[in-house]
Amino acid sequence: MVLHRLQLTVEDLATSQGNDVAIDELRSQASLFEDAIYHAFALAEKNVTHRGSNPLFWSLRHAFVERDLKGLRTEMKYLFQSFLVREQFSKDIQESLKRLVDFRFPHEWFPATRTMQRTIHVHVGPTNSGKTYNALKALENSKSGVYAGPLRLLATEVYQRLEAKGRPCALITGEEVRIPEGHDQYFSSCTVEMIPLNAKFDVAVIDEIQMIADPERGTAWTSALLGVQAKEVHVCGEDRTVALLQALCASIGDKCVVHRYERLSPLRTMSKAIQGDYSRLQKGDAVVGFSRKSLHALKRTIETKTGRRCAIIYGSLPPEVRVQQASLFNDPDNDYDFVVASDAIGMGLNLEIRRVIFESVTKYDGNQHRILSFPEIKQIGGRAGRYRSARDASLSSSSAREVEEEKVGLVTTMDEADLRSVQRAFQKTVDDIEYACIQPPAGIIERFASYFPPDTPLSFIMLRMNASATVGRLYHLGVSSDILEIADIIQDIPLTIYDRLTFCYLPASLRAQGAVDVLRALARVVANNSSGSFLDIKEIPLEFLDVELSTFEQGSNEYLAKLEALHVAINQYVWLSYRYAGMFRDQALAFHVRHLVEEKLIATLDRLDYTEEQLQSKRQKKRLEAHRAKSSKVVDDIEPRQQEPTMVV
């Protein structure tokens, strides 16, 4: 298995553009590397498996356990490329590289911020505890401030809130920038990646701070926390971040004040699952699943079985469509009694949910089906429990006891087999977050890349930097799998390192239809310094706007997928228009077409033709795959003398 991945790697390198190693030399080096692999596995058979004593075996095993065969192939490619350049650098250059990737003190990347004496207010508590409300109060009462959240939905909500209170506010996200006219000073509301680190504020609010350890986006939270120039920084999130945040503040000389909150309404798990009995659904129920097809099947089944309407919310729907669906669910005067949703409801939407029902506790994470972590279950399940206002209670004919019962949030599952996992999640204390993810500034990556030949793949440079870096105990240097994948997709297009890095952070959904073709087309515009006319980029399937669902022969599921893919492509164009304004000049047209797509998506959601067929068998299949993956992962935590994972040479 391992040697097969090596063979695939050699074939890829032999045919890739930019590879300046002769094929005979490549095969010769592959033979030497094969010997090294055999030696590593021979050591493993003698129980020599630790990273320090057998790094090659450790790296291959770790990649296989964490990311399955896909991860093993990525790691094999990196390790073999490292083997090829092992004698390229002199000792002096190696010392220079070592100093360059000394990342023990990432707070030094923000020298202006280090001249300030900041107070970090840490607001922690479960979902629906009022922690963010109190942080936003501090923002509203300041003279200047910034809010940074994980989603455009949240940034827009805070933007609208400040504007409604008469405080001029800018909205800054990757896909949209609104600057208030006629004001020299104003508040800002943005996604975390867009927080202005060169401006000074009285108050900054950073929401969902537990994302600081997220392998894909955590670096943005770390940069915001270390770099925002605000006298008061209010961070909101889960209790498991407190120890890390206190340690970070102590290491950089900031004062840390912790505020803890309790839920405004009680939450409890139920003793029984729904068990597929849709007659047991109640108004205010949210059924949570992790597959777009399953969610649409659930929506259709619920509407057929109950005779009532069901809203639908998931991540690949545009934010505007999610808001519209949430409004349908929250409106007490219509027949939308239920909502089916993905983990997109875990943050960013105000939903009056009485009960959360997990259709499944497994999800596909891009590599494999896995069981949800306890924090994920608690984050999603915590959305249950509508905290009704006094006005709602006064208008209701319910007794005081019924009103109190209405405040109780309930959590259960569709299948009995999943219920125990959910119950354990709410009973168990979740482990503290131990590190913050970091990514060095683009300038450091460019300098590191300058030591390698011009055609060296960026993905290799990033992985080599990751392996060579020295990182402090409070930090974790990781490379997102999405970044590596995008880097490889555009590797043969002649771009500068800076431009490659820009595209690596493009909000791309690579699983969307035609996503790779769109990405490469946009990159070619920058590489060729050509006209980025919106209508000239043929890979953006604008012609699909003229296709009606009634005449589309491939079914509503495929129709919806194509609309979503078109929306993603338009968003990428808009995102690039803010960074390469001279090339992608049709921003206004892109905004208009994006709005048309959103209208079409909303109309399509009302006319879907899914059934319940095979829903239960799909859940069982995913559950089995997730348990297998969990069993494989457990193996990695067992002492080497007890057992090793099954990974054959």
Tens digits of per-residue pLDDT, 183-220? Answer: 989 999 999 999 999 999 999 999 999 999 998 899 99
Element (H, E) at 323: helix 319-330
CB 499 within 8 A of CB 526: yes
| Whole-number Cα distances in Å, 345 to 154, 226, 328, 349, 475 | 12, 28, 15, 6, 29
Burial of 327 (0-12, 13-18, 19+ CB in 10 A): middle
pLDDT at position 94 is 83
The Cα 464–Cα 81 span in angstroms is: 9
Select, from the ranges 108-117, 120-129, 148-157, 457-466, the one with the highest average predicted confidence (pLDDT).
108-117
CA 262 to chain centre: 27
pLDDT at position 16 is 65
Tell me what the mean pLDDT of segment 260-272 comes to.
Answer: 92
So where are the chain's domains?
106-260, 267-431
CA 292 to chain centre: 17
CB 343 within 8 A of CB 294: no
| pLDDT higher than threshold 60 for residue 636 | no
The class (CATH top level) of 106-260 is alpha beta
Tokens of 168: 């001029």
pLDDT at position 267 is 92
pLDDT at position 542 is 95
Confidence of residue 344 (pLDDT cuts 50, 70, 90): confident
Which residues, including other chains, have CB under 8 Å from residue 187's CB and lie 6 or more apart?
139, 144, 145, 146, 147, 162, 167, 168, 169, 170
Q: Is 53 helix (H, G, I), strand (E, B) or coil?
A: coil
Tokens of 588: 């206004």
**What is the DSSP track for 367-423?**
S-EEEPPHHHHHHHHTTB-----HHHHHH----HHHHHHHH-EEEEESSHHHHHHHH
| pLDDT higher than threshold 60 for residue 17 | no
| pLDDT higher than threshold 80 for residue 619 | no
Amino acid identity, residue 178? Answer: R
pLDDT at position 405 is 54
Please tell me the chain's helix, strand, coil percentages from 3-state DSSP, rounded to the nearest 5.
50, 15, 35
Tell me the torsion sign for CA atoms 274, 279, 280, 284: positive
| pLDDT higher than threshold 70 for residue 390 | no
Q: Tell me the Ramachandran region of residue 554: left when phi exceeds 0, alpha when psi lies from -120 to 50, beta otherwise.
A: alpha
Confidence of residue 622 (pLDDT cuts 50, 70, 90): low
| pLDDT higher than threshold 80 for residue 628 | no
Confidence of residue 24 (pLDDT cuts 50, 70, 90): confident
What pTM was estimated for this model as a whole? 0.83
pLDDT digits (tens, 9 = 90+) for 561-610: 899 999 999 999 999 999 999 999 999 999 999 999 999 998 888 776 44
| Whole-number Cα distances in Å, 120 to 434, 445, 565 | 18, 30, 40
pLDDT at position 265 is 85
Closest CA to 458 of 441, 440, 446: 446
DSSP summary character for residue 353: B
Q: CA angle, 523 as apex, 520 and 524 as ends, to 5°?
A: 85
**In CATH terms, are 106-260 and 267-431 the same topology?**
yes
pLDDT at position 612 is 44
Confidence of residue 637 (pLDDT cuts 50, 70, 90): very low
CATH architecture entry for 267-431: 3-Layer(aba) Sandwich (3.40)
Per the document, the length of the chain is: 649
- 340 - beta bridge partners? 287, 312
| Whole-number Cα distances in Å, 283 to 265, 298, 323, 572 | 18, 16, 19, 38
**What is the DSSP track for 457-488?**
-HHHHHHHHHHH-EE-TTEEE---HHHHHHHH
State the average pLDDT for the chain. Answer: 86
pLDDT digits (tens, 9 = 90+) for 136-173: 999 999 999 999 999 988 999 899 999 999 999 999 99
| pLDDT higher than threshold 70 for residue 631 | no
pLDDT at position 432 is 95
| pLDDT higher than threshold 60 for residue 617 | no
Tokens of 293: 């097809």
| pLDDT higher than threshold 70 for residue 28 | yes
The Cα 268–Cα 385 span in angstroms is: 10
Tell me the torsion sign for CA atoms 2, 4, 8, 13: positive
pLDDT at position 553 is 87
Element (H, E) at 232: strand 229-237
